[in-house]
Structure 1
Amino acid sequence: MEEIIYNELKENEIDTELFSSFNRHQDVKKCWRKEDGKWILKDIAFVEHWGAEEYEYLVRCLKNTIKTGGTVFGAFKNNSLVGFASIESGFFGTHNEYLELSCIHTSYESRGLGVGKKLFSLICKKAKDMGAKKLYISAHSSEESQAFYKAMGCIEAEEYNSKSVEKEPCDCQLEFRLD
């Protein structure tokens, strides 16, 4: 089995070519929705598959993350990107204790190998080093995505970030305590 190498990426390493073999595909069957204060798993099916337009937007976002003091990690297998995660630098919340995990994705063929778990661990260490008490995640509401975050120990956020809710109203707003 080939070793997976994890690196903190520099701005000049992030371009569309980096994602040439990355497969952001998800066949969603069920999603979590909050109704009357309770979380319900609903039959909501769709396929999410990123194309050139999504990767171009992603490259701009990740470059901006680094420009503004955040961090991007990449996971590589045979010099091909198989996972990535990013953390933003701006603190928020009533006590300014949150930093946002803005992205975490594993290429379709590399799921189940611990890539996401390792990236999450690297992000948590970085957030703690930056002085955060909690990691904030506006997370995809699919059953599989939520199972991952629950396995990592994430819980529903005590405070919701209104910008995140506005941007992705169907996401689940989560947090992870770094202490």
Structure 2
Amino acid sequence: MDNIVYKEMDINEAVRINEIDASQYIKRAWREVDGKRTLIDLDYHDDTWPNGYENHLEGLRETIKNGGKAFGAYEKDGQLLGFATVNSDMFGDKFKYVLLDQIFISNEHRGRGIGKRLFKMCTDQSMEWGADKLYICAGSAEDTIAFYRRLGCVDAVEVNKAFYESDPRDMQLEYSL
């Protein structure tokens, strides 16, 4: 039985994300090839935070400052093992979406159900706010997409143009609440 404590993070804890090993080996990733989504070989090791640590730290702080929520998973010794954030701003035409802005689990702790539990905390919060769906701009690595698919995420019905254009390689997913 894991002795992991899950709780809401406050803005003073944001810098603790530096305790997380965000590295990831990406064997294959989804790409648009001849108009069709295809798995391609990448054989790439991303040894740090995608888009940089400062970008993720600032995003976490902004989420909390703007009324969103951040949830952390802590080892019994207090080390931060992972975190997830959900923004409170709603968008969408047919549905009320909120953005799952970030979810990271330290490399050595992946596969322990931590991400699933943090995701659930974000969905619960989103329902409290009255959202219909959680929106995810997921990195295109095969393992990342498989994680979201196992949770029940599907391709987004309403693609948010701004999110798509910020990184067209990301997969736009949603989760019905």
Q: In the TM superposition, what are the counterparts of 1:1-179 in structure 2 within 5 Å?
A: 2-15=2-15, 18-35=16-33, 37-50=35-48, 54-77=52-75, 78-95=77-94, 97-178=96-177
Counterpart CA distance in 2 for 1:12 and 1:21 is 14
Count of aligned residue pairs for this structure pair: 175
Letter in 2 for 1:57: N
- Partners of 2:72 and 2:80 within 8 A in 1: yes
Deviation at 1:80, TM superposition (A): 0.5
- Partners of 2:135 and 2:173 within 8 A in 1: yes
Deviation at 1:56, TM superposition (A): 2.5
Counterpart CA distance in 2 for 1:115 and 1:44 is 26
Deviation at 1:84, TM superposition (A): 0.4
Letter in 1 for 2:88: S
Q: Give percent identity, aligned residues only.
A: 39
Deviation at 1:33, TM superposition (A): 1.8
Counterpart CA distance in 2 for 1:85 and 1:37 is 32
Listed as ranges, the gaps of 5+ residues in structure 2 are none
Deviates further, 26-35 or 113-122:
26-35
Query: Secondary structure, in 3 states, of the residue corresponding to 2:140?
Result: coil
Counterpart CA distance in 1 for 2:12 and 2:122 is 20
Q: Which runs of 4+ in 1 moved over 3 A?
A: 34-38
**TM-score between both structures, scaled by the size of structure 2:** 0.93
Deviation at 1:132, TM superposition (A): 0.5
Query: Secondary structure, in 3 states, of the residue corresponding to 2:89?
Result: coil
Change (3 A) 1:37 1:93: farther
Question: C-alpha root-mean-square deviation of aligned residues, in Å?
Answer: 1.6
**TM-score between both structures, scaled by the size of structure 1:** 0.92
Deviations 1:139-162 (A, max 9, x none): 011110011000000000001111
Listed as ranges, the gaps of 5+ residues in structure 1 are none
Deviation at 1:36, TM superposition (A): 5.1
- Partners of 2:90 and 2:98 within 8 A in 1: yes
